[in-house]
Every structure is written in structure tokens, then in C-alpha cells.
Chains A and B, each alone.
Chain A
Amino acid sequence: MHERNEPDADAALLARYAAGDPAAAALLAQRLGPRVYAQASRILGDATEAEDVTQDAMMRLWRVAPDWQTGQAKVTTWLYRVVANLCTDRLRKRPATSLDAIAEPADPAPSAAQHLQNVARADALQTALDTLPERQRMAVVLRHIEGLANPEIAAILDVGVEAVESLTARGKKALKGALAGQRDALGYDDE
């Protein structure tokens, strides 16, 4: 997700796919599949659902390929938006989950290696992300994990840039609060 200077690369591959080039599908899937999966995983917090969303989003990309107008939008922006909508649909179909029902991350053993500590931090963050309202969660994931700029996030979420700033600010504040109770899992000497 850190290839901002290649706005046309995905569109060019999509055009090749639409023209029948079999290699283009593999290249696009390798470039975009993991990004889509990462976004869906962070928003949904469920690997199986994230796989389904990834497959669904990529299928929509394949189907839109023949009608894709180069220059209308970045492929990644379009795809992020599809993923956001698919995730929203799934989140709204879920039964309401109380905060108490969200599993706490496992406590790391005192002798755990650094990579286990890192996994614990990632789990703690995911648990905290799961407590955020969906729009805040999407904005925070896109801004602070996927590394997108606010205008692109605004296009993905179909809101203004100011709304994105508000969503990310409130999301970060809520995350800091949710993570406060997990200092042991985080392993930081937070003063």
C-alpha cells in the first residue's frame, strides 16, 4: 500500500486483463489481493470473513475491467471503497457485541521472545480496533495502518476531508483509551 507513485500501473494491468492477457490477472492479484485482505482483516477482525470479502472485491474488479476508464480513479481507491462497503454490510449483519464479549489478548509468557511480544501488540491493537464504531475503524485503518492520505480516504468513505480528520482523531482517542488497560500486553513503559 506504499506505492503512491504508480497510479497507472494497476490500471494498465487491468487493461491488459480486459484484453485477454492471462498474466495480468496473476500480477493484479499479487499486487492487490494482500492489500485488500489486510484492510478487510483490520476492519472485520475475522480472517475467514476477510478472505470472503477479498474474493468478492476482486471478483468485482475482474467484472469491471472491460468497462474501466483509465484516469477515472485509482484502481486501489476504487477497490478500497468496494472493500469498505462490503465490510460495512457484514458488520451491520452481525449481532451487537458487547465490549465484555471481546476476547482479551493472551498474556505473553515472561520468557516470550520479541516476536511474541510483537504479535501480542498486534492482537491488542486489533482487539481495540474491534471496539471502534465502523466508520472510525475504517478511517483509522486506512490512515494509520494502510498509510493513505486523507483526501483518498475521503473518496473511499464518501465523506469530506474534515470528516476524515474528525473520524481519525476520535478513533485514535478511543484506541488510546482501549489500549490503556493492556499495557502489559503492549510491553511499553508508557509514562
Chain B
Amino acid sequence: MHWGTTMSDVDKTISDDALEACFEQARVTQAPLPEAAMARILADAAAVQPRAPRMAWRAWVRALGGAPGIGGLITATCVGFWIGIAPPQMLPDVGGIVLGAEVSAFDLDADGFGWDLEEG
């Protein structure tokens, strides 16, 4: 039944179901993207892709905290080296212990650095 339509009106259109069937058919019959086109797309992508960042020395500096971090690291290294070769009196002579020396920093009658013994 086609209320308000004449036979000629019906001839000039198709039903909603028929149109929906066409849409459904279109959804399942879409031609695939040609391989050559895909290859061109991938070539474009490779040509303009940003390079992955490399861990250069600047990145290492940033990872260590920047200039303040590097400064602190250098200071700590120098102080540690100094303490290692000339420990204060309140600290044991770890170097002597490790090397098997009998001398202890507490036995030395020397100034803070102990170098006066060498000098007589």
C-alpha cells in the first residue's frame, strides 16, 4: 500500500529497504587500496618521519641533572679522592687497612694531613 502516492510516483523511487541493501552492499564491496598506493604512502611516511632522539652527551648531562648536577658530581669526586689520600684524624686509614699497613691515623703525631712526617 502506498498512501498518497500514485503508481507513477512509486516507479520514480525505491523503498528504504532497497536503498539500505545498496548501502550494505557498498560497505562490503569496497575496493582495497592498491598496493602501489600503499607503497607510496609508506615511502612518504619514511621521508618525513622525525628521527628518533639519540642519547648524545647533552642528553647524558640532562639525565645527570644538568650543570648543577655535574658540578656537584665533580666536587664530590674531588673531596672523595682527597679524603682517600689524606683522611682526617677521626677517620680510620682505610687505604692503610686495605693495603695491610700497620700504621693508623690515630698513631700519627702529625698535623691534619700527615705530610710533615715525609718532610722530617
- Chain A positions within 8 Å of B, measured between CB atoms, are 17-22, 25-26, 28-30, 33-34, 37-38, 41-42, 47, 51, 54-55, 58-59, 62-63, 65-66, 118-119, 121-122, 124-126, 144-145, 147, 172-173, 175-177, 179-180, 183, 186, 188, 190-191
Contacts and interface: CB of A to CB of B under 8 A. Distances in A.
B23 A125 contact: yes
Given A125-B22, A179-B19, A180-B14, A41 B49 contact: no
A55 B14 contact: no
Given A180-B12, A183-B14, A190-B15, A55 B40 contact: yes
Contact of B33 (A20, A33, A119): A33
- Overall SS of chain A's interface: helix
A62 B33 contact: no
Given A34-B33, A176-B13, A180-B14, A20 B49 contact: yes
Given A18-B50, A25-B49, A179-B22, A122 B29 contact: yes
A188 B21 contact: yes
Which residue, B21, B25, B46, has most C-beta atoms of chain A within 10 A?
B25
A136 B52 CA distance: 43
Given A41-B31, A125-B22, A191-B15, A19 B52 contact: yes
25 contacts: A19-B50, A19-B53, A20-B49, A21-B52, A22-B49, A25-B46, A33-B37, A34-B33, A37-B31, A38-B30, A51-B33, A51-B37, A54-B41, A55-B37, A62-B44, A118-B28, A118-B29, A121-B22, A145-B27, A147-B27, A180-B11, A186-B21, A188-B14, A188-B21, A190-B15
Contacts of A190: 14-15, 18
Contact of B25 (A66, A121, A183, A191): A121
Nearest to A28: B45
B14 A34 contact: no
